[in-house]
Amino acid sequence: MSKPINVAILGATGAVGQELLELLESRNFPLGKLKLLASPRSAGSEIIFKGEKLVVEVVSEEAFQDVDIVLASAGGSTSKQWAPIAVKAGAVVIDNSSAFRMIPEVPLIVPEINPEAAKNHHGIIANPNCTTILMGVAIWPLHQIQPIKRIVVSTYQSASGAGARAMEEVKVQSQAILNNQIPQAEILPYPLAFNLFPHNSPLTDNSYCEEEMKMVNETRKIFNAPDLLVTPTCVRVPVLRAHSEAVNLEFEKPFDVQKARDIISKAPGVELVEDWQKNYFPMPIDATGKDDVLVGRIRQDISNPNGLELWLCGDQIRKGAALNAVQIAELLIDN
């Protein structure tokens, strides 16, 4: 039996922080002491965990003393400030922001894909971007059988990707529209209710946005395939929670569709959802709250004999963030 692990959650009051708490309880994580850390604005608030009231503390250097693992979900600037301090205090930081993902010596881990990378950290482990995680879990089993040559992916990203306040904003906007009022946007740049728009992350020099380039660079790093061709288009859609992705895969030679279904149906972290008679395939409403990535509508690409098409949905807050981080922590304990 594992010894109790002292854990600190940095960003405990956010949507991902709340999910981390639920997972630590439901997965019977070998938890010793638990510290809830946040900014001064949230400090002093109380959160119920396992029937007990825990008070949220202000993050400080002293807060990381006697902590084994820090689960960080407070944004890139916060992670850059506090992760090195936590490591110096003796903790391992599993960071959910993009701050450390592309640093060569920092492992970028999806446990279903590259769990061995957890053995080679220097105090910080990066949790990948949500869209990268969901796609990776779904297509890695196929890549192991027959290496993927090119990925064309379009994402349909819910409000949850921008946090709890964005989710609430979509609700308010929806009500405004139904009341024949003009919806107001504060968290996202444009109204998302009854609307959609290309992902609002900054555009880069190559005309792809930062969210899209995360999928390119992170997939290559996780798959250990620096030459893998990846072209994404990321879109915000008026869904509260759970992202969807349409994925086109090109291989060097044909990949039998039934073989692909069989492989995905047995893959860890994946649930095959296909009812061709009813035209029923994964939907965000079905993926919400689930650990597994739902995959379906696997079919031959009629424009390319070496291509496969598939559709997936996954909970951005759960497997796309909190669950993946907790699974990494479990890897550390196993190691």
Q: Please write the tens of the pLDDT for every residue from 288-324.
A: 999 999 999 999 999 999 999 999 999 999 999 999 9
Residue 2 is predicted with a pLDDT of 66
Q: Can you tell me the distance from the alpha carbon of 162 to that of 84, in angstroms, rounded to the nearest whole number?
A: 26
Which of 121, 130, 143, 209 is the catalytic position?
130
Identify the CATH assignment for 132-316 out of 3.60.110.10, 3.40.190.10, 3.40.50.150, 3.30.360.10: 3.30.360.10
SS3 of residue 244 by DSSP: strand
Q: What fold, for 5-127+321-334?
A: Rossmann fold (3.40.50)
Domain boundaries, the chain: 5-127+321-334, 132-316
Q: pLDDT digits over 122-173, tens only?
A: 999 999 999 999 999 999 999 999 999 999 999 999 999 998 899 999 999 9
Pairing of strands 5-10, 31-38: parallel
pLDDT at site 273:
98
The answer to whether residue 313 is catalytic is no
Q: What is the DSSP letter of 122?
A: S
* CB-side neighbour CA atoms (13 Å) of 14: 23
Q: Strand 57-58 to strand 197-198: parallel, antiparallel, or no bridges (unpaired)? A: unpaired
- Residue burial 148-171, b: 16+ Cβ < 10 Å; e: rest: bbebbbebbbbbbbbbbebbebbe
Query: Which of the residues 121, 143, 199, 243 is marked catalytic?
Result: 243
Token pair, residue 198, equals 């290309």
Distances from the Cα of 219 to the Cα of 109, 148, 290, 307, angstroms: 10, 12, 23, 19
Ranges assigned E (strand) in 104-237 = 124-126, 148-157, 197-198, 229-236
Q: Is 243 considered catalytic here?
A: yes
Below-50 pLDDT ranges, the chain = 1
The pLDDT value recorded for residue 294 is 98
